[in-house]
Amino acid sequence: MDKFNLKELKIRFDQQADADRAFQMKKYMKDLFPFFGIQANPRRAICSQFLKDSKEFFLRKAIGWALREYSKTNPDWVREFVGKTTMSGLSTREALKRIKIKVKRIK
């Protein structure tokens, strides 16, 4: 997952939904909330994976942001670092956003 996407979370919930159990849960809560009918452990597993994916996105973005800020001070260092370091495309794009020259990979 490349971005925080609630539609993806809803799709995951829909795939695990149990209409009969949802009806009972809704009835138990006096029709105050809609339910998917997913028990606690499977629901936690879905949410946990979703949050892990989202955190990874923001970590990759943050790496790029930090490098982009440093590129204002030392663009040559950032260019060299990006060239010799394996990073996600998102981190690389963010790091080089203010640097005009393309980076060649150093192997």
In angstroms, rounded to a whole number, what is the distance separating the alpha carbons of residues 77 and 99? 11
Residue 53 has pLDDT above 90, yes or no: no
Which is more confidently placed, 28 or 54?
A: 28
In our burial notation (b when 16+ CB lie closer than 10 A, e otherwise), range 21-44 reads eeeebeeeeeeeeebbbbeeeeee
* pTM value > 0.85: no
Residue spans per domain, the chain: 6-95
Give the 3-state secondary structure of residue 90.
Answer: helix
Residue 102 has pLDDT above 80, yes or no: no
Q: Is the dihedral of CA 106, 80, 54, 49 positive or negative?
A: positive
Confidence of residue 1 (pLDDT cuts 50, 70, 90): very low
Tokens of 8: 């993806």
The burial class, CB within 10 Å (0-12 / 13-18 / 19+), for 70 is middle
CATH of range 6-95; options 1.20.120, 1.25.40, 2.60.40, 3.30.160: 1.25.40
| pLDDT given for residue 76 in this prediction | 92
For the chain, count helices (H), then strands (E).
Answer: 5, 0
